[in-house]
Amino acid sequence: MPTTFERLRQLFIAHFDYKSEELTATTTLENLGLDSLDIIEFMFDIENEFNIRIPDREFKVTTIQDMVDALDRFISEQDSEQDIGSSSNN
Amino acid sequence: MKRKVAVTGLGIISPCGNSIDDFSFNLMAGKSGVRRISSAYSSQLSVKIAAEVDFNPLDYFVKKQLSGMDRVSQFALAAASQAWKDSELSLDAKEKERAGVYIGCGMGGGNTIEDLYDQLFKHNADRVRPLTVLMVMNNASASHISIEYGLSGPCLTLSTACASSANAIGEAFRQVRDGYVDVMLAGGAEAFLTYGGFRSWEALRVLAVEDPEDPSKSCKPFSKNRTGLVMGEGAGMVVLEEMERAVRRGAPIYAELIGYGSTSDAGHITRPSLEGQARAMAEALEDAGLLPEDIDYINAHGTATEWNDLSETQAIKKVFGDYACKLPVSSTKSMHGHTMGAAGAIEFIASLLAIKNQAVPPTINLDQPDPQCDLDYVPNIGRTGVTVHSVMSNAFAFGGSNAALIAGKMKG
């Protein structure tokens, strides 16, 4: 299973046409020339890829590593919510 | 004191070519851009023909730009970039404050709206693309152009259906002539060849029946066997510039824009009024300080609907009197279809090319003359070796808006 970082990197490449070597953990979104509107649009594809919903105003990130950390957090939170939901349904 | 206005740049994305040279060549060759619709939904339509633009967005934009831009804005920006480059303009920060953008567009981001509803209603999506609003809004095209070139004067979108971009160019002309700005990027764009778009126009019963022998010959303006319009898409943009400025910098000058008439029928929402159309043409002549006999060519609105072609013919006769029968009038819609909000700009460009080339494009598919449409429509074959000093371009619209533009050849 590819890491969150690798999946995110592939998404960056598909969405923006960046080269793989431009995308490291410490790369900032500002360095990539992305503004807040670009990120909002990109979040739609991120949500699809990771099958999550990113809550409004909770995606304050500077670097790609920040994004990875935030995504891992959302994934684990939403996994546990689903677990609770599915166990309560049983 | 009114200032003179030069046209110093042209750009086009059209069913008859995505460059001014291709467009010019194809119109004079009588080459039609009408064909069978390529979309997957075409089997569901009763009318399966259109004048589509052959356009690969990645030839013009990087992926990052495309995620926030409807097809209509892509057309507008691609045409604007051609016009801007053609004009060889370079403005400093202060000059950019006296430069603006006027765009005509009927339907805005139609493809985005259709995708949106498809996702919501057909696929039960619980969320939509984040930039949907910015792609749908009708002023998106003008804004993208303003941002791209840093033009910080007035930036407006005019929406008068099929007269939109003629009105945009005419109003931009007045802005320059009256001294509010020195440069305008003006024109229009439309991209409404969507399933919903086709269905909507089909329901109005104004679309042409496909020619049984050759789909490309389905649009037959002024012909006795005309059956209606063929939907098209595209964009046309021109650079308008205060004349002294243009001459001083040695700009390429296609023509002087000299007259504009704008009227409303104030009558019926679809049925055209020859009075309203005639007043627009007469106003443009008066504005230009020309007599009817001074016009050498009219690019007609010429949609190939029964009512338009009859009404426009009568309106031309009313304004031009006996001279009407000597005046070449053609409908290039026979080739590039009805590009709706872009029509006024695309056809104004066709008119300017008549001056540049000293040649008049034909009305193709005109094999059966209509006794009630009895002007010189330049049937089927473009006319070269003619003298073209001054041209008029007509654009009329559902809603009753009428616009006429007049341009003249530069002296010397």
From the candidates B64, B65, B131, B137, which should be mutated to test the interface with A, based on the most A CB atoms within 10 A?
A: B64
Are the beta carbons of B130 and A15 separated by less than 8 Å?
no
Determine which one of B219, B301, B336, B373 is catalytic. Answer: B301
Number of cross-chain residue pairs from A and B with Cβ atoms under 8 Å apart = 25
Which sign, positive or negative, has the C-alpha torsion B350, B351, B355, B359? positive
CA distance A66 to chain B (A): 21
Residue pair B352/B47 in contact (Cβ under 8 Å)? The answer is no
State how far the Cα of B94 lies from the Cα of B80, in Å rounded to an integer: 21
**What are the backbone dihedrals phi and psi of residue B166, each rounded to the nearest 5 degrees, phi first?**
-70, -40
A84 touches chain B (CB under 8 A): no
Contact B130 A38 (CB under 8 A): no
List pLDDT tens digits, range B64-122: 889 899 999 999 999 999 999 999 999 999 999 999 999 999 999 999 999 999 999 99
A7 touches chain B (CB under 8 A): no
Q: Is B123 on the interface with A (CB under 8 A)?
A: no
Please state the rounded mean pLDDT for residues B51-58: 97
Q: Per residue in B278-324, pLDDT tens?
A: 999 999 999 999 999 999 999 999 999 999 999 999 999 999 999 99
Residues in chain B with CB shorter than 8 Å from the CB of A17 are 62-64
Give the predicted TM-score (pTM) of the model. 0.95
Q: Is A85 a residue whose pLDDT tops 90?
A: no
Please indicate if any CB of chain A lies within 8 Å of the CB of B127: yes
Q: What is the pLDDT of residue A86?
A: 62
DSSP A22-88: G--TT-BTTTTT--HHHHHHHHHHHHHHHT--PPTT----SBHHHHHHHHHHHHHHHHHHHHHHHHH
Q: How far is B405 from B166, CA to CA, in rounded Å?
A: 7
- Among A41, A53, A56, A57, which would you mutate to test the B interface (most chain B Cβ atoms within 10 Å of its Cβ)? A41
Q: Do B62 and A17 touch (CB under 8 A)?
A: yes
- A36-50 and A64-89 are packed helices; what angle lies between their axes, rounded to 10 degrees? 40
Q: Residues of A with CB below 8 A from B129's CB?
A: 41, 44
Do residues B196 and B80 touch, judged by C-beta distance below 8 A? no
Query: What are B219-245's pLDDT values in tens digits?
Result: 999 999 999 999 999 999 999 999 999
Average pLDDT over residues B319-335: 98
Question: B330, B363 in Cβ contact below 8 A?
Answer: yes
pLDDT > 60? residue B369: yes
Tell me if B67 and A40 make a contact (CB, 8 A cut-off).
no
| B chain contacts of residue A15, beta-carbon cutoff 8 Å | 63-64, 67
Q: What is the mean pLDDT of residues B370-398?
A: 97
The answer to ipTM > 0.95 is: no
Q: Which residue out of B105, B162, B219, B373 is catalytically annotated?
A: B162
Q: Which residue has the tokens 């139609």?
A: B110
Select from B64, B127, B129 the Cβ nearest to the Cβ of A38: B64
Q: Element (H or E) spanning B10, and its range?
A: strand B5-13
Q: Are B233 and B14 in contact (CB under 8 A)?
A: no
CB-nearest to A44 from B63, B129, B134 is B129
